[in-house]
Chains A and B, each alone.
Chain A
Amino acid sequence: MSKLTPPLPKFLRPAPRKPESDEAPGNGAAPGRADKLREEAGEKAGEVVGWLDERSGISPILRANLYRKVPKGTNWFYTLGSATLFAFVSQAVTGVFLAMYYEPDTSRAYESAAHITNEVFLGELVRGMHRWGSTVMIILIFLHMARTFVFGAYKYPREIQWLIGVVLLVLTLAMGLTGYLLPFDQRSFWATTVAVNLNASAPILGPYIADFMRGGSEFGAASLARFYALHMLLIPGLIAALIGAHLYLVAKLGTTAPPWLKADKKALGKESV
């Protein structure tokens, strides 16, 4: 049963014809015309959906995903993952607007950040949203991770989801680190210097990692360009791709039932027969 694609939602199914007697006589032509228009609109919507579906085959996929059953007893803790995704989308949108004004050049970075903050329409709000959105996103990731751990949702068959999630956590922290330098004020410059020096103190690979982060042995123009490219292109691309894989697995394996829910013995018996 559960393998079957759910049926089309009601509004896309052709409506049965109304009996003629429904149209009360003496009511004028208006209701008849409205009904006819509604019917035509329905047919047109159906045609558009049909056109798309014939070429993409998307309808059964959408139906299977939208109308898939979520286990009983799922609660608000289950929204933390999608809230993290939403925070990422918010970061992407505000980030695009910031990129319209930001200049990743050591002589212009601070000035462009000040320009965004002080002169651009709603610039301070968008910068503030990006700055606080990063904090909110990292908090949400940890809460989502805690829920997954406490509810045992990382167990078979969802281990890959957990692994991808850990990589996403590391990448998000890397976003926080690379983004911190970009306003290029005293705090961001010196805090990033401290972070790079911390990496430099790692055994064996440390100095090489630090050189890679700085783009040389000294902190300079190359460092800023490097952090900007990582923050704008590489890491967000990786995050988006891995979120896609994470969500694919959610859709494929379904939502985990909460641990306090007992397995339905009858249903279990039926499925194993």
Chain B
Amino acid sequence: MQKNAGKPFFPYAVAKDGAMAAITLGVIITMAVLFGAELGPKADPTTTTYSPRPE
């Protein structure tokens, strides 16, 4: 019932979804460029002093 009063999925909802996808990609790339992906020292099971803490 509500459906008949609405707009077609294409192109209206698709355009919104596409814009949101672009924003998502933009955020991901921005974070990747700004913060990168850290890589600490190699894993060593024999260390006893390392204290793992959440970032």
Chain A residues in the interface with B (C-beta under 8 A): 1-2, 6, 65-72, 74, 76, 78-80, 82-83, 86-87, 90, 110, 113-114, 117, 124-125, 127-133, 135-136, 140, 183-191, 193-194, 219, 254-255, 257, 261, 263-264, 267-268, 271
A150 to B23, CA, bound (A): 23
Q: Are B33 and A128 in contact (CB under 8 A)?
A: yes
Minimal Cβ-Cβ distance residue in B for A111: B42
**Given A186-B40, A267-B5, also A74-B13 (CB < 8 A):** yes
With A184-B43, A185-B42: A67-B8 Cβ-Cβ less than 8 Å: yes
B residues less than 8 Å from A188 (CB atoms): 43
CA distance A130 to B28 in the complex (A): 8
* Whole-angstrom distance between the Cβ of B35 and the nearest chain A Cβ: 7
Give the contacts of B20-55 with A (CB-CB under 8 A): 20-21, 23-25, 27-29, 31-33, 35-37, 39-45, 47, 50-52, 54
In-complex Cβ contact of A132 among B35, B44, B45, B52 (8 A): B35
Counting chain B residues whose Cβ lies within 8 A of the other chain, the interface size class is 35 or more
Main secondary structure of the interface of A (DSSP, over half): helix
How far is the CB of A12 from the nearest CB of chain B, in Å?
14
**Given A76-B20, A219-B45, A67–B2 Cβ distance below 8 Å?**
no
CA–CA, A75 and B42, complex, Å: 47
**For the complex, would chain B's binding face be called helix, strand, loop or mixed by DSSP majority?**
helix
In the bound complex, CA of A190 to CA of B45 (Å): 8
The 8 Å CB contact of B28, one of A71, A74, A129, A184, is A129
A193 and chain B: residue at smallest CB distance: B52
28 contacting pairs across A/B (C-beta < 8 A): A1-B4, A2-B4, A6-B8, A65-B9, A66-B10, A69-B6, A71-B5, A72-B7, A74-B6, A78-B16, A79-B16, A79-B17, A82-B17, A82-B21, A83-B20, A86-B21, A87-B24, A90-B28, A117-B39, A127-B32, A129-B28, A129-B29, A132-B31, A185-B40, A190-B52, A261-B2, A267-B4, A271-B1
Nearest first, the 8 A-B pairs at minimum CB distance are A128-B32, A189-B43, A190-B52, A79-B20, A132-B31, A66-B10, A257-B2, A185-B40
Whether the Cβ atoms of B24 and A67 lie closer than 8 Å is no
What distance in Å separates the Cβ of B53 from its nearest Cβ neighbour in chain A? 9
Measured between beta carbons, the chain A residues less than 8 angstroms from B45 are 189, 219
CA distance A79 to B23 in the complex (A): 11
